[in-house]
Amino acid sequence: MAEEAAVRAQAETVRRLKQDKADPDEIAKEVSKLLEMKAQLGADEGKQKFVLKTPKGTRDFGPKEMAIRERAFKAIISCFKRHGAEVIDTPVFELKETLTGKYGEDSKLIYDLKDQGGELLSLRYDLTVPFARYLAMNKISNIKRYHIAKVYRRDNPAMTRGRYREFYQCDFDIAGQFDPMIPDAECLKIVHEILSDLQLGDFVIKVNDRRILDGMFAVCGVPDSKFRTICSSVDKLDKMPWEEVRSEMVGEKGLSPEAADRIGEYVQLHGGLDLIERLLQDPKLSQNKLAKEGLGDMKLLFEYLTLFGITGKISFDLSLARGLDYYTGVIFEAVLLQQEKEHVEEAVSVGSVAGGGRYDGLVGMFDPKGRKVPCVGVSIGIERIFSILEQRLEASEEKIRTTETQVLVASAQKKLLEERLKLISELWDAGIKAEMLYKKNPKLLNQVQYCEDTGIPLVAIVGEQELKDGVVKLRIVATREEINVRRESLVEEIRIRTSQC
Amino acid sequence: MAEEAAVRAQAETVRRLKQDKADPDEIAKEVSKLLEMKAQLGADEGKQKFVLKTPKGTRDFGPKEMAIRERAFKAIISCFKRHGAEVIDTPVFELKETLTGKYGEDSKLIYDLKDQGGELLSLRYDLTVPFARYLAMNKISNIKRYHIAKVYRRDNPAMTRGRYREFYQCDFDIAGQFDPMIPDAECLKIVHEILSDLQLGDFVIKVNDRRILDGMFAVCGVPDSKFRTICSSVDKLDKMPWEEVRSEMVGEKGLSPEAADRIGEYVQLHGGLDLIERLLQDPKLSQNKLAKEGLGDMKLLFEYLTLFGITGKISFDLSLARGLDYYTGVIFEAVLLQQEKEHVEEAVSVGSVAGGGRYDGLVGMFDPKGRKVPCVGVSIGIERIFSILEQRLEASEEKIRTTETQVLVASAQKKLLEERLKLISELWDAGIKAEMLYKKNPKLLNQVQYCEDTGIPLVAIVGEQELKDGVVKLRIVATREEINVRRESLVEEIRIRTSQC
C-alpha cells in the first residue's frame, strides 16, 4: 500500500510538471521513474487503481443470504440422507488432464491455474467428472453418494437469473451394476421430493433417453458423424422455435431437409406411457435396436414411477437432449412452470432447476483397464433456487433470523460487566446460545433494542437486587413480560421457553 | 483417450522402425508425425501417460473421512452459534491485487489462476483477508461472523501431519469498536470450549501481544527496521532451542549480541497474572508506552478469563510471536500437549491446533478512505484435528456409520419388487430414511447382511402372507427379533425404535 501511495505521488509530480510545461528532459526523467515504480509494483497487474470488488461472476453471501442458502441445503441434504446416501468431497482443482476430453465444446469454459512449477491444474467444472475419477482411482464399483460443492465455469454470467461463474452443485449419484431402471427411478423420485419440499411452485420433469434420440436420428437418416451436433441442435428446442432449430440443422450443419422434417415430427411429441406404447409400435423406430431398448426401459421406468405416485409431474419428451457428451441412457431435466406473479414483483425467469441422467462410460475413461462402472445421477441447480427463494423472501413480510441466539445477558445498572461475564460463561457452558454487548456499561434500552433488531427472544438481566436475591430477571422480548427466575433454574427456564428454536 | 492410444501406437511404430534399423528418412518421417500428434494432444501438457491421482498436497474425503469431518464441524459450528455468530461465504478466488501485500514472505505460496483474458485472480490464502475485503466493500463496521471454507497454499505438504495445500479453515471473528479485551476474551473462551468439546487431550493456549513484543524489542535495543524480522525469528522458538534462534538473530539478521541476549531473557518467560504484574514493574518495559499498554490490556484479559474460569489452560508466553504481518494487539495459539501413547500406535506429531489475534489495521487497507474497523478473531486448525480424530478412530474398535438409514425395505420371496417400491415410497414420503437393494429378486440373507455391514438397525420385510394380512414384518438387526407391525403403524414404530438416531 505504501508503494502504491508512492506511485500516486510520483504520478502527481509528473502531472504537475506537464501542467507547468516544465523542461521536457525533467519530465522525461520523472516519467521514466514513474514507469519504473509501476513496473516494480507488479509488472503483470496492469491496473493502477485498486478496485474493491469480487471477481466477475462471483458474489459474497452475507448472513441473510446464507440463512436462505442453509434452508435450501437442509431440505436437499435431508432428502439425500433419506435415500441412504453417503457423502464425499474432492479437491476444488484436478489435474488438467483429468478434465480433458470430457466436456466437448464447453472445455473452453474451464478455469486453468497458472503454471507456477509442478502439475498443471484446472478448477473443477462439475462434480461428475471428479466423482468418476474418484471411483476409478479407488476401484469403487458400488456407491450411493452425494456431494455438495462449488464448481467453476468461465461463462458469461447472468447473475439476476442465478447464473454465476462460481456456483454450487448438489449432486446425488448411484454407481453400480444393478437391475435396470431401479436407481434411475429413484433419482427422479429425489427430484420430485426436493422440488415439492422447497415449494417452488408447479414443475415438470422431462425425461428422455440418449438411445431413443440416437435411434430416432438413425431412422430419420442422420449420418452417424452428425449425431452429436444434431443432438445439440435439438437441445435448443426449449429456447428456440422448431423452425429456427430446423434451419440450423439444414443451413449450418448440412442435414438434408427431409431428415430434418422427419426429426421435426418426433421431437414435438411428449406424453406418458401411452406415447411410449405408440412409439414401440412405430414402424420405423421399432425396427431400430437402440430405440427399442430405450423405449423398453422407458416403459419400465414409467411403471416404477407409477408405483412412486409421481407420474403426474413426469413428461416423456422427445425434444430433451441435454448438452453433455457423457450421457448414455436416461436423461432428465426439471423445469419450473411460469407462476402467476402474485407476490413476486419482478418474476425470476424460470428454467431448469435440476437435471441428470445415466453415464455408463465415464468411469471407464479413467480406469487403466477400461473397467466400466454404470452410473446414474442428478444435479440440483441450487443457484436458481436461491434466486427464487431470495426474491420471494424480499417480497414477503417475513424477517429472517441470521443467528440462533436464545438469550442476551444484560445489566440494568453500571459496573456489572463482571457479573454479566460470569453469567454468560455459565450459560455457554450449559449449551445455551447467549450474547452480550461488548460494552462496559451499556444502557438497558440499547440492550433490549438489540434483541428486537436481531430477533433474540429473551433477555437475562442482572441487577444488584437480583444478585442479592440469587435470581435473574428474565424478560420475554415479544410480550415485554418480566419474571424473576432462580439462578439455578435459569438454564432450564431458557430451554423451555426457546424449545421451538 | 482415443488420441492417446493413437500416440502410443505411433510411438510403437517409431520404436519398431528404429529397432529394425529401417531407412533413416522413413524413421524421421514417422518421428515427426509422432511429435505432431503429441503436440496436438496438448502442447502444454508435457506428459503422455495419464496419471490417476489428485493434485499434490490434496486428498479426497471418502464417506468414512467425511463422517469424522462432519463430527468435528458440528462441534465447532455449534460453538460458534452458541456465541451468536452469523455466517458468511466469499468466493474461492479473489482479485490478485486483493491479496497483494498482506502476507509478507508467504506471498510466494499463493496460487494464481492462469490469465485467460479478463481479471487476474488468485485462490484465497486464508479467510481473514477476504473477510476484511468484505467488510470494507460493504461498509460493515460491526459484525460477529464465522466462515468455514477451504484455503490454498503452495506449501510443501506434510500430509501425515495434517498439512495440505488445500485445507479447511474455521474462522470466527468479531469486528467493531468495543470496550477493550471483551471480544478478545470471548475468542479465547471459544478455543477453550472447542478443544474441550473435541476431547483432543490436554492443551495450553499461549497468549501474547504484539505491542508487548514491539516494546520489548525497543527496550532491548532492536532497531525499528528489524522489528518484523526479529519477530519472525522469535516465532521459531517453538521448534528451535534459544541458542539457534539467537545465532540466527546475530548471524543472519545482524542484531547485536547484547540486544539478542536481552531478548533471550524476556522470551523465556511465561506465566500468568503474576508475570504480568512483575513485568508491569519491570524498570525498562514499564517505561515503554507500547509495552505498558499491552501489559495493561493483558492484565484486563486475564481478569476476564478468570471470570470465564479458564486461566488454568492459558499461558502468557513472551516467546509467542505468530507469523502474519497484520496482527496489532493480542495474539494467541493453542497447542496440544504430548499425550501418553496408549491407544495410538503412531502418534500424530502434535502442534498448533488454533490461533488468532487482533488485527485493527487490515480493513483500513481496503477502505478507500482508510476507515478502520478493529477486528479480533480465531482460526481453528481443523486438518490437524481431523488427523488426530482419524488416527484415534482407526486405533479404536468403534465402527463409524456413514449413512443414517433407519430401515431396509426387503422381501422374503421373489417377484415382490413392486411391493418393495410401493412401501419404500410410503416411507420416504413420511420422512423415514430408507434403502432397498437395487435388484429384482434379492436373497433375504443378502439383504440382512447388507444391514449388518452398514449398520442399518431395522429391516421391513414384505412377503405374500404379510401383504394378505396387512402387516409388515419388522426385524431388529441387532437382536434378530421379528415382529409383525400393522402397515398403518409402521412409520410410527420405526420412529420409536430409531429415536436415538
**What ipTM goes with this model?**
0.85
Residue count of chain A, please give it. 501
Burial class (CB in 10 A: 0-12, 13-18, 19+), B3: middle
The per-residue pLDDT for range A416-425, each reduced to its tens digit, is 999 999 999 9
In this complex, is the C-beta atom of A8 within 8 Å of any C-beta atom belonging to chain B?
no
pLDDT at residue B42 greater than cutoff 80: no
* Contact yes or no for B45 and A97 at CB 8 A: yes
More confident position, B236 or A246: A246
Grid coordinates of A87:
457423502
- Average pLDDT on B203-215 reads 96
Per DSSP (E only), the strands in A212-283 are: 270-271
- Average pLDDT on B120-126 reads 97
Of B16-25, B171-180, B243-252, the least confident: B16-25
Domain ranges for chain B, please list them: 1-41, 63-395, 407-499
Answer left, alpha or beta for residue A300, where phi above 0 means left and psi between -120 and 50 means alpha: alpha
pLDDT at residue A14 greater than cutoff 90: no
pLDDT at residue A345 greater than cutoff 60: no
pLDDT band (50, 70, 90) for residue A23:
confident
Question: Which chain B residues are Cβ-neighbours of A439 within 8 angstroms?
Answer: 178-179, 182
Q: Cell 471480544: give the residue.
A: B183
**Average model confidence (pLDDT) for chain A?**
90
pLDDT band (50, 70, 90) for residue A43:
very low
Grid coordinates of A139:
476401484
* Shortest Cα–Cα distance, A115 to chain B (Å): 7
CB-CB contact of A250 with A266 (8 Å)? no
- Average pLDDT on B401-421 reads 96
User: Would the pTM count as exceeding 0.90?
Assistant: no
pLDDT band (50, 70, 90) for residue A39:
low
Orientation angle between helical segments B289-308 and B182-197, nearest 10 degrees: 50
- Average pLDDT on B235-264 reads 93
* CA distances for A42 relative to A8, A35, A116, B106, B117, angstroms: 14, 11, 16, 16, 17
- Average pLDDT on A442-469 reads 96
pLDDT at residue B395 greater than cutoff 80: yes
In this complex, is the C-beta atom of A447 within 8 Å of any C-beta atom belonging to chain B?
no
pLDDT of residue A1: 52
More confident position, B160 or A211: A211
The per-residue pLDDT for range B162-190, each reduced to its tens digit, is 779 999 999 999 999 999 999 999 999 99
Of A376-380, A493-497, B28-32, B204-208, the least confident: B28-32
* Contact yes or no for A61 and B89 at CB 8 A: yes
Class of domain A63-395: alpha beta
pLDDT band (50, 70, 90) for residue B350:
low
pLDDT at residue A468 greater than cutoff 70: yes
Q: For the sheet containing A471-476, what is the strand order?
A: A434-435, A407-411, A458-462, A471-476, A482-486
pLDDT of residue A393: 86
Cα maximum dimension of chain B? 95
CB-CB contact of B143 with B99 (8 Å)? no
Residue B27: closest CA among B37, B17, B16? B17
Closest residue in A to B62 (Cα) is A88
* Shortest Cα–Cα distance, B121 to chain A (Å): 7
pLDDT at residue B38 greater than cutoff 80: no
- Which are the contacts of B365, defined by CB distance < 8 A and separation ≥ 6? A1, B101, B102, B132
Residue count of chain B, please give it. 501
More confident position, A40 or A437: A437
In 3-state terms, what secondary structure has residue A261?
helix
pLDDT band (50, 70, 90) for residue A48:
very low
Distance of CA A232 to the CA centre of its chain: 24
pLDDT of residue B28: 72
Neighbouring CB atoms inside 10 A of B476's CB total 13
The per-residue pLDDT for range A228-270, each reduced to its tens digit, is 889 989 988 888 899 999 999 999 999 999 999 999 999 999 9
The per-residue pLDDT for range A154-189, each reduced to its tens digit, is 988 777 677 799 999 999 999 999 999 999 999 999
N-terminal to C-terminal alpha carbon distance within chain B: 46
* Contact yes or no for B60 and A88 at CB 8 A: yes
Q: Cell 441412457: give the residue.
A: A329
pLDDT at residue B341 greater than cutoff 70: no
- Average pLDDT on B464-492 reads 96
In 3-state terms, what secondary structure has residue B191?
helix
In this complex, is the C-beta atom of B72 within 8 Å of any C-beta atom belonging to chain A?
no
- Average pLDDT on A309-334 reads 93
pLDDT of residue B90: 98
Q: Cell 524413421: give the residue.
A: B27
- Among A118, A178, A440, whose Cβ lies nearest the Cβ of B56? A118
pLDDT of residue B46: 41
- Among A84, A89, A366, whose Cβ lies nearest the Cβ of B66? A89
In 3-state terms, what secondary structure has residue A88?
coil
Query: Where does A20-51 have alpha helices with state H?
Result: 24-42
Q: Please, which residues 357-376 of chain A have a Cβ atom closer than 8 Å to chain B?
A: 365-366, 368
Cα angle, residue B482 at apex, residues B477 and B488 outer, rounded to 5°: 105
Answer left, alpha or beta for residue B161, where phi above 0 means left and psi between -120 and 50 means alpha: alpha
In this complex, is the C-beta atom of B47 within 8 Å of any C-beta atom belonging to chain A?
yes
- Among B96, B178, B309, whose Cβ lies nearest the Cβ of A45? B96
Asked if CATH classification 3.40.50.300 holds for the domain at A407-499, the reply, yes or no, is no
In 3-state terms, what secondary structure has residue B309?
coil
What backbone phi and psi angles, to 5 degrees, belong to A95? -55, 140
pLDDT band (50, 70, 90) for residue B39:
low
Of A305-314, B123-132, B342-351, B485-494, the least confident: B342-351
- Per DSSP, B342 falls in state S
Residue at A347: amino acid letter:
A
What one-character-per-residue DSSP string does B144-160 give?
EEEEEEEEE-----BGG
In this complex, is the C-beta atom of B90 within 8 Å of any C-beta atom belonging to chain A?
yes
pLDDT at residue B221 greater than cutoff 90: yes
* CA distances for B91 relative to A167, A174, A384, angstroms: 9, 30, 18
In 3-state terms, what secondary structure has residue B115?
coil
- Which are the contacts of B155, defined by CB distance < 8 A and separation ≥ 6? B57, B109, B163, B165
pLDDT band (50, 70, 90) for residue A3:
low
Q: Which of B59, B87, B159, B415 to mutate to test the interface with A (most CBs of A within 10 A)?
A: B87
In 3-state terms, what secondary structure has residue A460?
strand
Residues forming a β-bridge with A203: A336
Query: Where does B146-272 have alpha helices with state H?
Result: 182-197, 210-220, 227-234, 242-247, 257-267
CB-CB contact of B207 with B320 (8 Å)? yes
In this complex, is the C-beta atom of B183 within 8 Å of any C-beta atom belonging to chain A?
yes
pLDDT at residue B345 greater than cutoff 90: no
pLDDT band (50, 70, 90) for residue B349:
very low
What is the 3-class SS of A171-207, one letter each residue? Answer: EEEEECCCCCCHHHHHHHHHHHHHHHHCCCCCEEEEE
CB-CB contact of A448 with A458 (8 Å)? no
pLDDT of residue B48: 44
* Contact yes or no for A81 and B433 at CB 8 A: yes
* Contact yes or no for A438 and B178 at CB 8 A: yes
pLDDT of residue B399: 86
In this complex, is the C-beta atom of B414 within 8 Å of any C-beta atom belonging to chain A?
no
pLDDT of residue A339: 61
* Contact yes or no for A46 and B179 at CB 8 A: no
* Contact yes or no for B82 and A432 at CB 8 A: yes
pLDDT of residue B370: 87
pLDDT at residue A387 greater than cutoff 90: no
pLDDT of residue A203: 94
In this complex, is the C-beta atom of A47 within 8 Å of any C-beta atom belonging to chain B?
yes
Rg (CA), chain A: 31
Residue at B260: amino acid letter:
A
pLDDT of residue B232: 87
pLDDT of residue A44: 41
Cα angle, residue B239 at apex, residues B237 and B245 outer, rounded to 5°: 45
The per-residue pLDDT for range A88-116, each reduced to its tens digit, is 999 999 999 999 888 877 889 999 999 99
Give CA–CA dist A205/A337, Å, rounded. Answer: 10
**Average model confidence (pLDDT) for chain B?**
90
pLDDT of residue B104: 76
pLDDT at residue B11 greater than cutoff 70: yes
* Contact yes or no for B52 and A366 at CB 8 A: yes
- Per DSSP, B178 falls in state -
In this complex, is the C-beta atom of A268 within 8 Å of any C-beta atom belonging to chain B?
no
Give CA–CA dist B305/B185, Å, rounded. Answer: 6
The per-residue pLDDT for range A226-238, each reduced to its tens digit, is 998 899 899 888 8
